[in-house]
Amino acid sequence: MDPLLGWARKNQSAIVKTIREFVECESPTDSPVDVKWFMDLLVEAVSDIATCRLTSECALICKFKLPGRRKKGQLLALGHGDTVWPLGTLETMPFRRAQGRLWGPGVLDMKAGLAFFIFAMRALIELDIPVPHEVVLLVNPDEETGSKTSRPGTEALARKSKAVLVLEPGTGLEGKAKTSRKGIGAWTLKVLGIASHAGVDFASGSSAVVELARQIEIVSGFTDLARGITVNPGVIAGGTRSNVIAAEASAEIDFRVPRLADAKSLDRKFRSLKPFEKRCSLELTGGLNRPPMERTKGVGALFTMAHRLAADLGVELEESSTGGGSDGNFTAALGVPTLDGIGAVGEGAHAAHESILIDRIPDRVALLAKLASSGIPESAISYTT
């Protein structure tokens, strides 16, 4: 058997124990104190094998002390310590082991992935497997709310790296790697109309609600399913009373694009919106938050390597693309080869049935160790911009 896979199987109960500790330390993005506690727990978990630094934004950077004398360049592993689950979720959704799975808030997204990576590093050290580059783990505190404070730090570390491994869960119960992600953005479209009495003075008013309804019809038409472009006016608000012509109305609109070029053309379309009713005016704020992670040749080369390494473990690693974003969107957009979705295998991220498959723990830990200790193929790096 592959020595790394053997090591991971032998250490499975220790890995499960660590996952449990991570899940039982709740860390919703909007509670920085709790996120910090979780970061402290991570520091404790790696204190004997890495040097760690917590940035002023509460991002954790761990540099591992790995075997091998000559180290060229750096490999970045990327994760997040926050979850979408509010404090107290454990009371109704406790950590548990049942039906061959581990269950609990944040277990899949992505506390197991963090535990996997730490144990992958332990395996390399205990088996004395030389690693040809430095390995740095970055754990962000705010990924689930868009990584607003952590983005510059992520980009700075990615620029110094040959490649990025993102510890987000894989796709589906097969745990497919993610080689492309859509770009994500949001617009707020606000309409200013003219208020008046709906009975006494109807004609002097100009309804923001009616104008917004017509605009929504237009922006919904920007969706192009064949090309993977979606525009979703998901929230609307407007007006005060039914007997008042509405002075204000607004819509929050999510959009997803597979290519940066699509984001640019969508941007032009939104900015050229004109009011139907001349006495109404439009205000548009927002734009692209996460650029798309496109499947560049560098990403492809990294996946090919992962596919081969997984095959050595007896696993057929497939690839997938998704409409959801991650911090991998930022690193890939810089041109740094990025492989995403190689954390835990399971289902139900952000949902009550969030869980991971126990029997996929060893092969994922072994795969991460293999990826981290393999030379990044020149064919991947040469495409780095």
- Which residues are near Zn ion by CB under 5 A? 109-110, 168
Please, what is the minimum distance in Å from the beta carbon of residue 82 to Zn ion? 9
Angle at CA of residue 265, ends 264 and 271, nearest 5°: 90
Task: Report d(CA 348, CA 355) in Å as an integer.
Answer: 6
Please, what is the minimum distance in Å from the beta carbon of residue 110 to Zn ion? 5
Please, what is the minimum distance in Å from the beta carbon of residue 150 to Zn ion? 13
User: Which residue minimizes CB distance to Zn ion?
Assistant: 109
Please, what is the minimum distance in Å from the beta carbon of residue 213 to Zn ion? 36
Please, what is the minimum distance in Å from the beta carbon of residue 143 to Zn ion? 6
Q: Torsion angle of alpha carbons 328, 334, 337, 339, nearest 10°? A: 10
**Is the Cβ of residue 84 or residue 310 nearer to Zn ion in the bound state?**
84
**Is the Cβ of residue 110 or residue 358 nearer to Zn ion in the bound state?**
110
**Is the Cβ of residue 211 or residue 340 nearer to Zn ion in the bound state?**
340
**Is the Cβ of residue 79 or residue 205 nearer to Zn ion in the bound state?**
79
Here the tokens at position 263 are 């984001």
CA 68 to chain centre: 31
With beta carbons less than 8 A apart as the criterion, state whether 359 and 100 touch.
yes
Please, what is the minimum distance in Å from the beta carbon of residue 12 to Zn ion? 23
Residue 223: CB partners within 8 Å, gap ≥ 6? 229, 230, 231, 232
Here the tokens at position 186 are 């949001």
With beta carbons less than 8 A apart as the criterion, state whether 335 and 86 touch.
no
Q: How many other C-beta atoms can be found within 10 angstroms of the C-beta atom of residue 82?
A: 28
Of 183, 182, 191, 248, the closest CA to residue 216 belongs to: 191
Please, what is the minimum distance in Å from the beta carbon of residue 327 to Zn ion? 8
**Is the Cβ of residue 254 or residue 277 nearer to Zn ion in the bound state?**
254
100 Rama sector, left if φ>0, alpha if ψ -120 to 50, beta otherwise: left
Task: Report d(CA 64, CA 61) in Å as an integer.
Answer: 10
With beta carbons less than 8 A apart as the criterion, state whether 82 and 29 touch.
yes
Helices 361-373 and 3-10: angle between axes, nearest 10 degrees: 140
With beta carbons less than 8 A apart as the criterion, state whether 223 and 229 touch.
yes
**Is the Cβ of residue 262 or residue 354 nearer to Zn ion in the bound state?**
354
First-to-final CA distance of the chain:
39
Cα torsion angle, 260, 262, 265, 266, sign:
negative
**Is the Cβ of residue 110 or residue 309 nearer to Zn ion in the bound state?**
110
**Is the Cβ of residue 11 or residue 180 nearer to Zn ion in the bound state?**
180
Task: Report d(CA 3, CA 27) in Å as an integer.
Answer: 34
Please, what is the minimum distance in Å from the beta carbon of residue 46 to Zn ion? 20
Please, what is the minimum distance in Å from the beta carbon of residue 338 to Zn ion? 14
**Is the Cβ of residue 109 or residue 294 nearer to Zn ion in the bound state?**
109
